[in-house]
Amino acid sequence: MRTSGLFQTAQYRINLKGRSDDFWLSIFSDVHRDHPQFAKSEWQEYLRWAKDTPNAYFIGNGDYWEWYRAHTRAAVISDVAKEEHRHMDKERERAVALFAKEIEPMRGRLIGLGDGNHTWEFVDGETSEQKLARAMDVPHLGVCSVVNIIVSTPNGSQCSFLYAQHHGKAGSGHTVGGPYNTVANWAKSFSGVTIFVMGDDHSRGF
């Protein structure tokens, strides 16, 4: 799978109101909005849950839209005039604005937004994910990232854990365990990480 290959790091602090408080860490990935098989009702249900769950924090892991893969995108962009590219940009900008509006309830609890392989590169060189991250005022996490999440309480005690995500690495195979083996092998590249997340594979799992 061809992606930007961009690796990023970030830090985020969750301030609990009390020592016994809990919180959710929710990852959304591979939404593929506007695809013919886009799970619209499930996505809307998820957005309602996000709005109604104030102790939930969110991270995006790419493929928010059903746009060109890297090789197709490169061919399309190289084959059109810059003016036509700008015209296509306007349509993509509207889509980014709409998605930002949909995830607006996550603002203030959105940790960051990662890349996928279905993306768009604008004439100015910025990608759709970078524009979305800027609209939501959160870090752009690239296609692979490690985030240090610090959890603190009012009395000053705190703990932290490392979270790592990758949109998806090639070679998941065709067996039931293939996708999990891909994550397990990728995880060997890191030390001290508590949570590993990988997207792109759309299987339901066990």
In angstroms, what is the C-alpha Rg of the chain?
Answer: 18
| pLDDT for the residue numbered 186 | 72
Closest CA to 118 of 99, 145, 146, 139: 99
Burial of residue 104 (CB within 10 Å: 0-12, 13-18, 19+) is middle
The rounded distance, in Å, linking the Cα atoms of 114 and 144 is 7
Average pLDDT, integer, range 175-190: 68
Mean pLDDT on 188-192: 83
Give the residue-averaged pLDDT of 82-86.
74
Give 77-85's long-range contacts (Cβ < 8 A, gap of 24+): 77/121, 82/123, 85/123
pLDDT of residue 23: 95
Residue pointed to by tokens 């060109």: 68
pLDDT tens per residue across span 104-123:
999 999 999 999 888 888 88
* Phi, psi of 89, rounded to the nearest 5 degrees: -60, -40
* Averaged pLDDT score across all residues of the chain: 85
The pLDDT of residue 199 is above 80 = no
- Cα 126 from Cα 33, distance rounded (Å): 20
Sheet with 193-198, side-by-side order of all strands: 24-28, 56-61, 110-114, 140-142, 7-15, 144-152, 158-166, 193-198
pLDDT tens, 4-38? 668 899 999 999 998 789 999 999 999 999 889 89
